[in-house]
Amino acid sequence: MSAAVSLRKVGKTFARGEVTALQEIDLDVQPGEFISLIGPSGCGKSTLLRIVGDLIQPSSGEVVVNGKSADQARRDGDYGIVFQEAVLYDWRTVARNIALPLEMAGWDRPKRDARVKEMVELVELTGFEKRHPWELSGGMQQRVAIARALSFSPALLLMDEPFGALDEMTRERLNGELLRIWADTGCTVLFVTHSIAEAVFLSTRVVVMSPRPGRITEIIPIDLPQPRTYETREEARFFELVTQLREALHGGSEREPSLRAARAK
């Protein structure tokens, strides 16, 4: 199951119009895509993610998620969300944390237990069902958060720098696992990140944003073949795309002195 997301002239201002977080955002996401939002601090990428999830109301423009308004999509449980902090409940075990949205949706015990088991296997945390969050490492906590977000098979997955607090190695490993999960479930993913390599590795398209006011400056299609593995990170095409993305972020090599010097050579 996957959803399309469509944004038309979406804008958001804060502090009674003084701060323009987003301006005239136009974006079309096809079902099954993996879209990364990347940009420097203040470009509005997290705000945009939250607008899609109806956690913030846009000041202007239209948002259509899975053929409905963002508000309706939220009420129907069409998306799951993962934050940078796992936000697990300390008083629940791993299994009960994953079951939380299912409880809220009124699933009965046997159905819940079966689905939790599936999810635990999906994120490869078998054996840890009865543990409490503080007994797990940061990476494992995030895997629980991902399992929870996917437990009700949403069409859309929203992720706000989910791996930002983890070390590089864990991050790369979880990138690979996320792609596997994405291939298995077929959902659409909207992924906010600060990391250029991560954006290139994970996405079908990368949306580059810039601040003051927040807007989309460029959309880069990533044509690396699937499935992507550790080897993909060492291919020449990968580096080309990383460079392309870096230059797009810096607004063209003319602005960056070190890039200019490299070019001159």
The binding site for another protein (CB under 8 A) comprises: 53, 55, 74-75, 77, 79-81, 83, 85, 87, 89-92, 100-101, 103-105, 132-134
Least separation in angstroms between CB 158 and another protein:
8
> Which C-beta is closer to another protein: that of 87 or that of 261?
87
Least separation in angstroms between CB 199 and another protein:
23
> Which C-beta is closer to another protein: that of 17 or that of 106?
106
> Which C-beta is closer to another protein: that of 83 or that of 113?
83
> Which C-beta is closer to another protein: that of 129 or that of 256?
129
Least separation in angstroms between CB 216 and another protein:
24
Give the C-alpha separation, 167 to 170, whole Å: 6
Give the C-alpha separation, 175 to 170, whole Å: 9
Q: List beta partners, residue 208.
A: 38, 218
Least separation in angstroms between CB 71 and another protein:
9
Instruction: Please check whether residue 20 is in contact with residue 60, taking contact to mean a CB–CB distance below 8 angstroms.
Output: no
Per-residue burial over 179-211, b if 16 or more Cβ lie within 10 Å, else e, is: bebbeebebbbbbbbebbbbbbbbbbbbbbbbe
Least separation in angstroms between CB 117 and another protein:
21
> Which C-beta is closer to another protein: that of 19 or that of 105?
105
| Cis peptide bond prior to 257, omega within 30° of 0 | no
Give the C-alpha separation, 258 to 245, whole Å: 16
